[in-house]
Amino acid sequence: MKRFLIASLVALILAAGVLSAGVVGATENDNEGEDVLTPASPAYFTQQIMEQVQFGVMDDAGTRRADFTLQMMERRASEMDELQERGRPEYIPGLVRQTARLSEILQEECDGLDLEDIDAAALAGAIARVTERADEVLKALEGELPDEARDGIKRARKAIGGNHEFAASVLQQIIDGELPGDPEAAESALEGLQRAGEGAGDRVPPGPGRPELDEKDGEENGNDD
C-alpha cells in the first residue's frame, strides 16, 4: 500500500510540475537539435508520462526504485541547467518542485532498504554524485529566479541535505568496516559530501577523527567544552 501511495504521489508531482511549468512548450520546440529534453519541447510531456508509468509498475527489489529516482533527479538537474542557459527561466520553478519531492521520495526509499542485502557502496556513491550535481544547479539558480521561487529552492536543498546525510552514514559504515566496500574510496567520497553539505540544508556527519553526532538530537559527543 505504501509503495502504491508513493508511486501515486510521484505521478501527481510530476504532472503538476509539467502543468505549472507552462503550456507554451506544447506549441513550440526549443529543444530541436539539443540532447537535453526540457519542458520547452512538446515531447517533454511524453517523457514525464513514461517516467510515471515506469516508476508506478517497478518492483522494490534491491535498489531499483531508489536508482530510478536518482535518474529522474539527474534529468531534472540537466533540464534546469539547460533552461537557464537558454534563457527560459519560466519553466524552472516547476522542475525545482519536482526535484524537492523526488529528493524526499529518495529518502523514503532508502529508509526502507536493508543495507546488508544491497550494494550499499554503489548506492551511496550514486546518491553523492547525483545530489551534489543537483545541489550545485539549485545553488546557482538562487540568485537568478524571482523571490517567490526561492522557497522551493530552499526546500529542495534541505531535502538534498537529508540525502547527503544518508549517503554519509553509509560511507562512514564502510570506512568503519561495518559494510563491505573500499574504505579509502569511501573516505574520499565522504569528504566531498561534507564540502557539498555545507550549504545543502542539513548536516553531514563528520568523518574519521571528528566528534560523532548523536542520532537523536545532533549534539556532539566526546567534547565536554
Cα torsion 105, 107, 111, 114 to 10°: value is 100
Residue 184 lies in a domain: yes
Cell matching residue 143: 540568485
Residue 75 lies in a domain: yes
In angstroms, the CA 129 to CA 195 distance is 13
In angstroms, the CA 165 to CA 45 distance is 33
Residue 223 lies in a domain: no
Residue 107 lies in a domain: yes
157 and 135 Cβ atoms separated by less than 8 Å? yes
Region 19-46: mean pLDDT is 64
Positive or negative, the CA dihedral 146, 152, 156, 159 is positive
Residue 151 lies in a domain: yes
Cell matching residue 48: 514525464
The yes-or-no verdict on residue 189 having pLDDT over 60 is yes
pLDDT band of residue 69 (cuts 50, 70, 90) is very high
Give the domain range for residue 77.
2-197
Torsion angles phi and psi, residue 2, rounded to 5: -60, -45
User: How do residues 43-54 score in pLDDT, each as one tens digit?
Assistant: 999 999 999 999
pLDDT band of residue 59 (cuts 50, 70, 90) is confident
Residue 24 lies in a domain: yes
The yes-or-no verdict on residue 197 having pLDDT over 70 is no
**Domain count for the chain:** 1
User: Does pTM top 0.85 for this prediction?
Assistant: no
Q: What is the DSSP string of the chain?
A: -HHHHHHHHHHHHHHHHHHHH-SGGGT--TTTT-SS--TTSTTHHHHHHHHHHHHHH---STTHHHHHHHHHHHHHHHHHHHHHHTT-GGGHHHHHHHHHHHHHHHHHHHHT--GGGS-HHHHHHHHHHHHHHHHHHHHHHTTTS-HHHHHHHHHHHHHHHHHHHHHHHHHHHHHTTSSSS-HHHHHHHHHHHHHHHTTSSS-----TTS--B-TTT--BSS---
Among 17, 7, 19, 39, smallest CA distance to 152 is for 17
Residue 202 lies in a domain: no
Residues contacting 154, CB < 8 A, separation 6+: 201
pLDDT of residue 199: 54
The yes-or-no verdict on residue 2 having pLDDT over 90 is no
User: How do residues 119-160 score in pLDDT, each as one tens digit?
Assistant: 999 999 999 999 999 999 999 998 888 887 889 999 999 999
Residue 210 lies in a domain: no
Higher pLDDT, 22 or 108: 108
